[in-house]
Every structure is written in C-alpha cells, then in structure tokens.
C-alpha cells in the first residue's frame, strides 16, 4: 500500500517540471513584448521629435526667405504606427504683405515610410491683400495633398481638389468659378531629374457669368523648366540658369482648353525676359474647328471671322487635317516677340506680362 502511494505521488509530480518551463517561457515572452514595446515607444518618441524639429527648421527657412507660415495649435500624435500633425488653422504671409489663410489642416505619415506625407485641409480659403483686404475666397468638398520627400528635398508634390469654388470680392474683377476637379502636380522630370515638371488641370470649369448654354471647359497646362528641380530644394528663381539676354527659358509642353468636341492647344519653347514678356516659337492646334466656329459665332461674334481665317492659313500651309468622322484639325506656327503673337504676318494678340518674383 505504501509503495503504491509513493508510485502515485511520483506520477502526479512529474508534470511540475514542464509547468515550470511553460511559466518561464510565458514570463520571457511577456518581458520580450514589454521590451519591444518600450523600444518602439522610444523610437516613436524620437521620430516625433525629429518631425517637430524638421518642421521648425523648414518654417525657419521659409521665414528667412520672406514667407511667414503659421500652424495654429500644432499637435503631433498618431502613436504607435503613424505621425499625425494637426493645425487648427494654417496660413502664409509673403514679404509684400499678401496672405493666404486656410482652415484646419491634417497631415499623416507612416512610421515605416516617413518620406511620404498625405495631408487634407478644410475651407474656407482666403487670399488677402494689405490694401484691398480679402480679394479671393474659396471653398471645396475635399482637398488632398501628397508630398514625397527625397534626400535633397521634395521629389513630388500633388494637390487634388474636388468641387472647388473660387470667388472674387467686390473690389476685384475676378469672376466666380466652379469646377468638378482641379489638380496641381510638381515633380522632378522622369527623363532628366534636374528639370522640373509643373502640371495643372481642371475638369468642367464654369463661370457664374457665362451664358447658360456655354459649355463647361477642361483645361491643362504643363510646363518644364530646365534645371528647375533646384526650386524644390530651396533654390530661388534669380539663381536659375538664364539665356544670354537674361531670359528664363522653359518648355510649354501643352496649354489647352477643350470642350466635349473641340480643343485649342499650344506647345513649344518659350522664355520670359527680365520684364516678364514672352518670346518663343509655338504650334497652335485647333481640333474640331467646325465646332469652334459655331461656338465663336454664337458667343463671340466680334471674332467670328478668326476661325475661318486660321483654317484658310492652315490649308495654305498644308497643315490642315480631316479625321474619319469629318472633324477638322488645324495646326499653325506661332511666333511670340516681346509678348506679341503672330501667325506669319497676321497678328493674333498680345500676351500679358508674367509677374514672377525675382525674375
């Protein structure tokens, strides 16, 4: 009987060793998790301090260049996997006293990819002039911005605005404009990273003062500035490479205005001289010119003869084309000298001077 009891006790005591091993493993795993959590928290806190320091440094650089940028009630959160920056309102004031004011701004970057920042902002937008007060206001449904950073500064900046509305004040002549979308994209050119590409587009833009039957327009502007990528790194416009006469060269990749069935576009090379006047050689393209003729005749009768004149010139030069659907495309060379645009000896208008700070 005593031997059987000893045997039973020995059998029931055997699991104690595995239990102790399991307990040790649980304690070790728990300690490892706590240690990793502490290390991650420390790394996140350090990263937060870097974000804050870099923001302060960038604001300082902008201030030194003459632009005061404000972020009211700035907060940085997002623990454990993101960095989130929040401003209850944001604004910028330039050296000339002009200012831009926005509503709340939110920016997010993932801890494992801090080089890509996504931001949103609420309206309204207000553009203020020191003499005229508020000269432009804007609202929208959604604004999203994307900033991709590199070792030497931003590589790409994107803005997409849904259903924007811009309106001038009573002291300006700026009309009320509405659009389905508007976007701005700035990046280093893929083919030549020292060049800068700037792309702007709008979809279905309309003016409140336009006739009810005037079609909505789509607009595109794409410009490439040679050796202009330095602007993303803080280079100032006066420091960009110039031509011998002091002009700033750039390529007009495309500038177009289109309806559903017609398009007017320009492309070519241009330069801006020190007083802001344009010089260069362009190609003018009118697609669906028969539709443009009808549109001009109805809404701009004072220029009703111009499409037919351009069509005749294109036919004389042998650059008119007719598509299978019967629509006609006209292409013509345009010369620009000190802002005056001509097709051969035919003047077609004067382009306004471009006011570029530091030109």
Q: Taking the CA atoms of 220, 225, 231 and 233 in sequence, report the sign of the dihedral they define.
A: positive
Of 109 and 306, the structure prediction assigns the larger pLDDT to: 109
The mean per-residue pLDDT over the stretch 295-323 comes to 74
DSSP count for the chain of H helices, then E strands: 4, 23
pLDDT tens for residues 183-238? Answer: 999 998 888 888 899 999 999 999 877 777 888 899 999 999 988 888 887 777 77
Q: 9 pLDDT exceeds 70?
A: no
Q: If pLDDT is split at 50, 70 and 90, which confidence band does 8 have?
A: very low
Q: Which residues contact 315 (CB under 8 A, 6 or more apart)?
A: none
d(CA 260, CA 258): 7
Phi first, then psi: give them for residue 186, nearest 5 degrees. Answer: -125, 130
Q: For residue 336, what pLDDT is reported?
A: 92
* E runs forming strands in 46-124: 68-72, 75-77, 82-87, 89-93, 99-102, 105-110, 113-121
As a whole-number percent, the residues of the chain with pLDDT over 70 amount to 86
Q: If pLDDT is split at 50, 70 and 90, which confidence band does 326 have?
A: low
Helices (H), the chain: 2-13, 16-64, 289-299, 306-317
Contact 158, 184 (CB under 8 A): yes
The single-letter DSSP state of residue 192 is: -
Give per-residue burial for 239-275: e unless 16+ CB within 10 Å, then b. Answer: ebebeeeebbbbbbeebbbbbeebbbbbebebbbbee
Contact 197, 187 (CB under 8 A): yes
Closest CA to 277 of 239, 253, 238, 246: 246
Q: How far is CA 205 from CA 19, 106, 164, 180, 208, in A?
A: 73, 27, 9, 7, 10
pLDDT tens for residues 111-168? Answer: 888 888 899 988 788 998 888 888 889 999 999 999 887 776 778 899 999 999 998 8
């Amino acid at each position: 009987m005593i031997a059987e009891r000893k045997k039973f006790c020995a059998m029931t005591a055997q699991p104690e060793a595995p239990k102790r091993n399991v307990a040790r493993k649980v304690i070790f795993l728990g300690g490892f998790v706590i240690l990793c959590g502490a290390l991650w928290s420390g790394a996140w806190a350090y990263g937060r301090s870097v974000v804050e320091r870099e923001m302060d440094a960038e604001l300082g650089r902008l201030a030194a260049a003459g632009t005061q940028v404000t972020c009211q009630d700035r907060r940085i959160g997002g623990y454990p996997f993101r960095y989130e920056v929040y401003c209850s309102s944001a604004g910028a004031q330039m050296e000339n006293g002009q200012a831009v004011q926005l509503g709340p701004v939110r920016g997010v970057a993932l801890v494992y990819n801090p080089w890509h920042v996504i931001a949103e902002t609420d309206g309204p937008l207000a553009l203020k002039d020191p003499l005229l007060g508020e000269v432009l206001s804007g609202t929208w449904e959604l604004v999203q911005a994307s900033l991709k950073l590199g070792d030497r500064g931003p590589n790409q900046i994107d803005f997409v605005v849904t259903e924007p509305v811009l309106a001038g004040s009573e002291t300006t002549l700026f009309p009320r404009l509405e659009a389905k979308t508007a976007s701005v994209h700035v990046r280093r050119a893929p083919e030549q990273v020292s060049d800068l590409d700037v792309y702007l587009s709008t979809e279905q833009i309309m003016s409140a003062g336009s006739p009810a039957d005037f079609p909505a327009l789509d607009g595109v502007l794409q410009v490439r500035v040679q050796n202009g990528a330095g602007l993303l790194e803080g280079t100032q416009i006066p420091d960009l490479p110039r031509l011998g006469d002091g002009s700033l060269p750039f390529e007009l990749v495309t500038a177009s205005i289109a309806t559903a069935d017609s398009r007017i576009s320009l492309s070519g090379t241009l330069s801006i001289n020190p007083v802001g006047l344009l010089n260069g050689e362009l190609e003018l393209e009118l697609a669906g010119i028969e539709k443009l003729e009808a549109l001009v005749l109805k809404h701009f009768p004072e220029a009703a003869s111009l499409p037919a004149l351009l069509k005749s010139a294109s036919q004389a030069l042998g650059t008119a084309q007719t598509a299978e659907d019967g629509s006609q495309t006209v292409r013509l060379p345009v010369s620009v000298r000190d802002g005056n645009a001509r097709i051969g000896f035919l003047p077609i208008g004067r382009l306004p001077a471009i006011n570029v700070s530091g030109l």
